[in-house]
């Protein structure tokens, strides 16, 4: 089978690779669509979480091609997406309903992913696509689940006021989830004009450039929003979030921080009684909810797709994304 193989930092090659062999509790998936995630680009630039020499890609949909002997309730040709995180189901976290905190085993991050014709995964991670949900929408379920889990874990309640830093894929998803969940206001901070416009179209009340977030303070009677969602993960966005959020408010950290930075204003964090919450990876419930939101048309993930490419174009596309030479939001790879 052909796949986009991550052979070393700054090097992805299209290669002929062995088709994965499944064990009794796994299924083999013929991949139809796989999205390119910011974390794939991050791996390309600085190395994958465990080692290179894997196939990247964890946001995907496809059809069941082979079924392990112990797998029930599934048939060849079923249209599916997955939760790419594969927890052990037996550790402290898994036994306490906190499976996304189990040791990381993620398809396309620590194990071979879906930028290839076939991928295998343990069968309990499979989520069937309802008839009305397309393969493209199916490939957006995992990123949507991040937004769902972020809004839920933040403690947001209907009618609360919110601000979102960043209108990239996760920012635009978080805006839509907040809208579906009944936010009274959604203020968005984003530098790129095209992304600002899309944020407005998808439910933001007002958008601001990065230096103008202070206007949100005025619009909230100098109090600040109840919740701030940082979908960027830069030192400035964390600092600005602390200044912006109201006393006793909550900052949800969704954008990935991988580099150390100096944290100024820690006293403000204390004196304002701020709650800061981290998150990583999604649980099964968030994936099911994401799928429901798409099926019920409460969110629209399709406007986030700005380009469709073939597998052969993946090395160049990731190289371009890594240089920041783009205003793409989500690139989808159609695998034939």
DSSP secondary structure of 28-47: EEEEEEEEEPHHHHHHHHH-
Q: Residue 94 CB, nearest distance to Zn ion (Å)?
A: 3
Contact range with Zn ion by CB under 5 A, out of 67-75, 83-91, 114-122, 150-158: 83-91
**Cα gap 298→176, rounded to integer Å:** 8
Q: Residue 37 CB, nearest distance to Zn ion (Å)?
A: 3
Q: Which is nearer to Zn ion, 67 or 282 (CB)?
A: 282
Q: Which is nearer to Zn ion, 91 or 276 (CB)?
A: 91
Residue 279 contacts Zn ion per CB under 5 A: no
Contact 99, 93 (CB under 8 A): yes
Contact 272, 247 (CB under 8 A): yes
**Which two structure tokens, joined as six digits, stand for 301?**
């993930």
100-139: contacts with Zn ion (CB under 5 A): 102
DSSP code of residue 152: H
Strands (E) located in 238-279: 250-253, 275-278
DSSP code of residue 130: P
Q: Residue 57 CB, nearest distance to Zn ion (Å)?
A: 9
Backbone angles phi, psi at 221, to 5 degrees: 55, 40
User: How many residues belong to the site for Zn ion (CB under 5 A)?
Assistant: 6
Q: Which is nearer to Zn ion, 208 or 229 (CB)?
A: 229
6-65: contacts with Zn ion (CB under 5 A): 37
Q: Which is nearer to Zn ion, 106 or 161 (CB)?
A: 106
Q: Which is nearer to Zn ion, 91 or 239 (CB)?
A: 91
Q: Which is nearer to Zn ion, 140 or 244 (CB)?
A: 140
Q: Give me Rg for the CA atoms of the chain.
A: 20
Residue 74 contacts Zn ion per CB under 5 A: no
Q: Nearest CA to 166 among 253, 237, 232, 240?
A: 232
Give Cα separations from 96 to 91, 92, 279 (angstroms). Answer: 9, 6, 17
- Which one among 1, 14, 91, 309 touches Zn ion, defined by CB under 5 A? 91
- Which one among 9, 24, 88, 263 touches Zn ion, defined by CB under 5 A? 88
Q: Which is nearer to Zn ion, 37 or 151 (CB)?
A: 37
Q: Residue 296 CB, nearest distance to Zn ion (Å)?
A: 23
Contact range with Zn ion by CB under 5 A, out of 89-97, 203-211, 215-223, 309-317: 89-97
Backbone angles phi, psi at 316, to 5 degrees: -65, -40
End-to-end CA distance of the chain: 11
Q: Which is nearer to Zn ion, 37 or 80 (CB)?
A: 37
**∠232-236-238 over CA atoms, to 5°?**
65
Q: Which is nearer to Zn ion, 36 or 186 (CB)?
A: 36
Q: Are strands 118-122 and 26-36 parallel, antiparallel or unpaired?
A: antiparallel
Contact 212, 194 (CB under 8 A): no
**Which two structure tokens, joined as six digits, stand for 110?**
């620590």
Residue 94 contacts Zn ion per CB under 5 A: yes
- Which one among 3, 20, 84, 87 touches Zn ion, defined by CB under 5 A? 87
189-218: contacts with Zn ion (CB under 5 A): none
Residues of this chain that interact with Zn ion (CB under 5 A) are 37, 87-88, 91, 94, 102
């Amino acid at each position: 089978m052909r796949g986009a193989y991550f052979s070393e930092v700054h090097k992805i090659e299209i290669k002929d690779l062995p088709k994965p062999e499944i064990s009794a509790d796994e299924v083999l998936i013929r991949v139809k669509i796989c999205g390119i995630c910011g974390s794939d680009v991050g791996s390309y630039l600085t190395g994958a979480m465990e080692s290179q020499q894997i196939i990247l890609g964890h946001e995907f949909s496809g059809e069941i091609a082979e079924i392990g002997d112990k797998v029930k309730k599934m048939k060849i040709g079923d249209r599916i997406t997955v939760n790419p995180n594969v927890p052990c189901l037996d550790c402290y976290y898994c036994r306490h309903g906190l499976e996304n905190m189990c040791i990381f085993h993620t398809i396309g991050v620590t194990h071979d992913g879906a930028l290839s014709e076939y991928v295998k995964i343990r069968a309990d991670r499979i989520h069937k696509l309802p008839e009305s949900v397309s393969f493209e929408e199916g490939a957006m379920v995992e990123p949507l689940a991040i937004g769902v889990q972020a809004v839920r874990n933040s403690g947001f309640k209907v009618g609360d006021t919110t601000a979102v830093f960043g209108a990239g894929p996760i920012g635009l998803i978080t805006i839509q989830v907040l809208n579906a969940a009944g936010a009274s206001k959604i203020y968005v901070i984003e530098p790129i004009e095209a992304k600002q416009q899309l944020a407005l179209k998808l439910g933001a009340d007002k958008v601001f450039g990065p230096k103008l977030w202070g206007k949100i303070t005025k619009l909230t009677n100098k109090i600040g929003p109840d919740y701030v969602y940082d979908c960027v993960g830069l030192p400035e966005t964390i600092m600005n979030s602390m200044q912006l959020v109201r006393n006793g408010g909550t900052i949800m950290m969704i954008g990935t921080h991988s580099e150390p930075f100096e944290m100024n204003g820690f006293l403000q964090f204390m004196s304002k009684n701020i709650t800061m919450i981290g998150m990583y990876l999604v649980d099964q419930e968030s994936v099911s909810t994401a799928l429901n939101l798409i099926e019920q048309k409460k969110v629209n993930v399709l406007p986030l797709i700005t380009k469709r490419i073939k597998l052969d174009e993946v090395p160049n596309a990731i190289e371009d994304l890594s240089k920041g030479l783009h205003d793409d939001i989500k690139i989808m790879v159609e695998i034939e």
